[in-house]
Amino acid sequence: MLAKKPVEDTGKTSRSTTEVENLTALLDSERKRADEYEKKYAEALESNNIMRRKLEESETRVLLL
């Protein structure tokens, strides 16, 4: 009985490799974008907290008048 040898389709392998590389690049890009948005969100949150504290201080001063 003859042993069957696997037939490698280099075209499919090449396309799959290219697709994986493209998807990896896309994933890296999305991760960077997500990191940027998380950083902007943290900055906005901190700014909001600072403004809230200032508002509370102003309200306290108004009540003391």
- The pTM of the whole model exceeds 0.95: no
Asked whether residue 14 is domain-assigned, the answer is: no
Which residue would you say has higher pLDDT here, 27 or 7? 27
**Domain presence at residue 10:** no
The domain containing residue 54 runs over which residues?
27-65
Q: Which tokens is 57 given?
A: 């201080």
Structural domain contains residue 15: no
At 23-62, the pLDDT tens digits run: 999 999 999 999 999 999 999 999 999 999 999 999 999 9
Higher pLDDT, 40 or 13: 40
Residue 8 lies inside a defined structural domain of this protein: no
Residue 51 lies in a domain: yes
d(CA 19, CA 63) in angstroms, rounded, equals 65
Residue 5 domain-assigned (yes or no) = no
Number of structural domains, the chain? Answer: 1
Please indicate, yes or no, if residue 9 is contained in any of the structural domains. no
Select from 29, 5, 6, 9 the least CA-distant residue to 17: 9
Residue reference for tokens 């940027």: 36
CA distance 34 to 42: 12
